[in-house]
């Protein structure tokens, strides 16, 4: 009997490792899941890569602006994978009727989020590394030309992706599997305002105002600034992180409220049935 | 030791729950106690409120009023303090099909923050006769093996209180008997407490020290199987169950 065993500590690593372990085994065995990680980034890379080859031949286009398209694509994909990594992991628990096992385990919802974040890091690393290698091999684009700034760009985008992933998870938990399409679609709501392929300055005023509240817009503006002008607007990057923390706080608040409400109303018990 | 002297593992007091503001009570004023080393069954027709009650015991739902205390901790507010000492298996739940038996157990041993994981997994595999299937994916197991796998997962943390929701519903009589034997051995050897739901009245008769009869959210009778059969003047539990449902229906009319 284990009555002497203490409760699972709040910062215990094993529960998060358990969630990560399951994800790694799931992915190791599944060709469709590997395709999810590599197929779409590869297709996007080819389409945009060929476009940059064409644009480079047009004399009025600045070569650095053209190549920044590929940088934008790689970073956008990273943001997308970060968000999807969290939401899809949660959906996998629902699909495999496994969610209740996790909810009765001696862990907090934040252990689950921690495990999801770890698995998202692994997936993003795999996907982005392959995409970055292919971008260099096929189109001679070196993402590492962004230097040390790249680390901060990646971190800011990962944080935004995770926050949106947690928020999407909360919405799915609240409204059921009818809302699962959000796992794939929610990030695209932010794309027009993220200044991924174009500067904020070309947006209509309303869209430009909205983009100021989107962390990714500061990252993509910063990336272009580094690639084209060779300098980083530090203030913009700080703003990205500030907004990231705000997004994360809102996402975690909503997530914990939904969990509390679920325990009162029981809507989580119908998921996957 | 007299029954009252055996430590309480679970104490439910005046527990009520409904899912909508003006809807019917799914659980209506339940009082219930489980003591260490007991096998207790909750039986009742579909919709009696058994699942809602168990979900509250597990901390998946919070009662609208009343309280459920496990090892002295209120499950509505302190679930995490005792969750490592309990576990649950149900035929309604599953485990990822593309993981093997051992991988699933490994994942849950980690999630339950267990140490000596390999040793624990082997013990559980032996207890449930699952050693030959340790490297077989759950998706390739038979229905009966999947049910045993679910119970193996529920035993991974060496629980002191185990909830089993119709664990033998998908098993043939021989495997059911084996499983009952395994569980009885664990209750006897390790003083585990077992709360059990089943629609198989013969099984409940053989297996339970005590049982609670539930209907329409309320407990309608409680006691040992022989005491209840004497009280209701029936020859077996199935007849008692049918009589109880009939009485409730007539009282409503």
Q: Which residues in chain A are contacts of B55 at CB distance < 8 A? A: 266, 269
The answer to whether residue A196 scores a pLDDT higher than 80 is yes
The answer to whether residue B1 scores a pLDDT higher than 60 is no
> Is there a domain that residue A3 lies in?
no
Contact A41, A133 (CB under 8 A): no
> Is there a domain that residue A193 lies in?
yes
What percent of chain B shows pLDDT beyond 70?
97
Which distant-in-sequence residues (6+ apart) come within 8 Å of A132 by Cβ? A74, A143, A144
pLDDT value of residue B75: 94
Question: pLDDT averaged over chain B?
Answer: 89
Instruction: State whether residue B107 sits within 8 Å of chain A by CB.
Output: yes
> Is there a domain that residue A7 lies in?
no
CATH of domain B6-252: 3.40.50.300
Instruction: State whether residue A34 sits within 8 Å of chain B by CB.
Output: no
CB contact under 8 A, A18 and B103: no
pLDDT value of residue B3: 58
> Is there a domain that residue A4 lies in?
no
Residue A115's domain comprises 13-270
Residues 164-223 in B contacting A (C-alpha not used; CB under 8 Å)? 190-192
Residues 224-253 in B contacting A (C-alpha not used; CB under 8 Å)? none
Chain A to chain B, count of Cβ pairs less than 8 Å apart?
123
pLDDT, greater one: B152 or B189: B152
> Is there a domain that residue A93 lies in?
yes
Residue A6 pLDDT level (bands cut at 50, 70, 90): confident
> Is there a domain that residue A2 lies in?
no
Residue A210 pLDDT level (bands cut at 50, 70, 90): very high
DSSP conformation letters of A104-153 = HSSS-HHHHHHHHHHHHHHHHHHHHHHHHHHHHHHH---GGGGTTHHHHH
Instruction: State whether residue B87 sits within 8 Å of chain A by CB.
Output: yes
DSSP conformation letters of B7-54 = PEEEEEEEEEE-SSTTS--SEEEEEEEEETT-EEEEE--TTSSHHHHH
> Is there a domain that residue A180 lies in?
yes
B51, burial (CB in 10 Å: exposed 0-12, middle 13-18, buried 19+): buried
- B71, B84, B87 member nearest A8 (Cβ): B84
Most confident of B124-138, B185-199, B233-247: B124-138
Residue A249 pLDDT level (bands cut at 50, 70, 90): very high
Residue A272 pLDDT level (bands cut at 50, 70, 90): low
pLDDT value of residue A255: 92
CB contact under 8 A, B93 and A100: yes
pLDDT value of residue A160: 96
Kindly report, residue by residue over B91-132, the tens digit of the pLDDT. Answer: 878 888 889 999 999 999 999 999 899 999 999 999 888 999
Q: Which residues in chain B are contacts of A11 at CB distance < 8 A? A: none
Q: Which residues in chain A are contacts of B106 at CB distance < 8 A? A: 18, 21
Contact A265, B26 (CB under 8 A): no
Average pLDDT over residues A24-32: 85
pLDDT value of residue A3: 54
- B55, B61, B110 member nearest A14 (Cβ): B110
Average pLDDT over residues A145-164: 91
The answer to whether residue B242 scores a pLDDT higher than 80 is yes
A247, burial (CB in 10 Å: exposed 0-12, middle 13-18, buried 19+): buried
pLDDT value of residue A1: 52
Predicted ipTM > 0.95: no
Task: Tell whether the torsion through CA atoms of B197, B78, B84 and A162 is positive or negative.
Answer: positive
Domains identified in chain A, total number: 1
The answer to whether residue B167 scores a pLDDT higher than 90 is no
């Amino acid at each position: 009997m284990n009555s002497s065993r203490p409760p699972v500590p709040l910062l215990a690593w094993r529960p998060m490792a358990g969630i990560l372990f399951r994800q790694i085994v799931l992915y190791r065995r599944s060709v469709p899941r590997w395709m999810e990680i590599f197929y779409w980034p590869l297709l996007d890379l080819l389409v945009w890569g060929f476009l940059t080859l064409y644009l480079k031949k047009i004399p009025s286009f600045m070569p650095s602006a053209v190549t920044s398209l590929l940088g934008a694509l790689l970073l956008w994909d990273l943001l997308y994978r970060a968000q999807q990594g969290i939401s899809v992991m949660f959906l996998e628990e629902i699909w495999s009727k496994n969610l209740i096992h996790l909810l009765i385990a001696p862990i907090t919802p934040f252990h689950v989020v921690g495990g999801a974040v770890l698995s998202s890091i692994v997936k993003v690393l795999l996907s982005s590394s392959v995409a970055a290698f292919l971008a260099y091999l096929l189109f001679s684009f070196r993402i590492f030309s962004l230097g040390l700034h790249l680390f901060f760009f990646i971190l800011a985008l990962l944080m935004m992706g995770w926050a949106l992933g947690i928020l999407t998870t909360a919405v799915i938990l609240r409204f059921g599997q009818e809302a699962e399409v959000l796992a794939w679609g929610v990030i695209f709501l932010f794309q027009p305002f993220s200044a991924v392929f174009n500067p904020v300055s070309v947006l209509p005023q309303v869209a430009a105002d909205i983009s100021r509240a989107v962390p990714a817009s500061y990252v993509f503006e910063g990336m272009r600034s580094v690639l084209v002008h060779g300098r980083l607007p530090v203030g913009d990057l700080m703003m990205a992180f500030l907004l990231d923390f705000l997004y994360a706080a809102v996402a975690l608040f909503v997530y914990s409220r939904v969990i509390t409400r679920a325990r009162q109303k029981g809507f989580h018990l119908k998921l996957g049935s | 030791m007299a029954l009252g002297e055996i430590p309480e593992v679970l104490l439910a007091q005046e527990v009520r729950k409904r899912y909508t503001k003006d809807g019917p009570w799914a659980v209506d004023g339940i009082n219930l106690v489980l003591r260490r080393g007991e096998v207790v069954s909750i039986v009742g027709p579909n919709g009696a409120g058994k699942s809602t009650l168990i979900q509250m015991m597990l901390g998946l739902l919070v009662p609208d009023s009343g309280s459920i205390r496990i090892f002295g901790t209120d499950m509505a507010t302190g679930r995490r303090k005792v969750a490592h000492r309990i576990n649950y298996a149900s035929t309604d739940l599953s485990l990822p099909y593309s993981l093997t038996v051992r991988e699933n157990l490994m994942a849950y041993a980690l999630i339950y923050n267990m140490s000596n994981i390999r040793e624990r997994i082997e013990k559980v595999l032996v207890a449930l006769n699952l050693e030959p299937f340790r490297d077989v994916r759950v998706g390739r197991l038979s229905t009966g093996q999947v049910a045993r796998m679910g119970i193996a997962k529920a035993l991974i943390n060496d629980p002191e209180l185990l909830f089993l929701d119709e664990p033998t519903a998908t098993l043939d009589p021989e495997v059911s008997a084996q499983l009952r034997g395994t569980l009885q051995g664990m209750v006897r050897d390790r003083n585990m407490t077992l709360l059990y739901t089943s629609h198989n009245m013969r099984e409940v008769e053989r297996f339970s020290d005590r049982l609670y009869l539930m209907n329409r959210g309320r407990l309608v009778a409680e006691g040992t199987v022989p005491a209840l059969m004497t009280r209701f003047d029936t020859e077996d539990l199935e007849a008692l169950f049918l009589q109880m449902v009939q009485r409730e229906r007539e009282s409503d009319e």
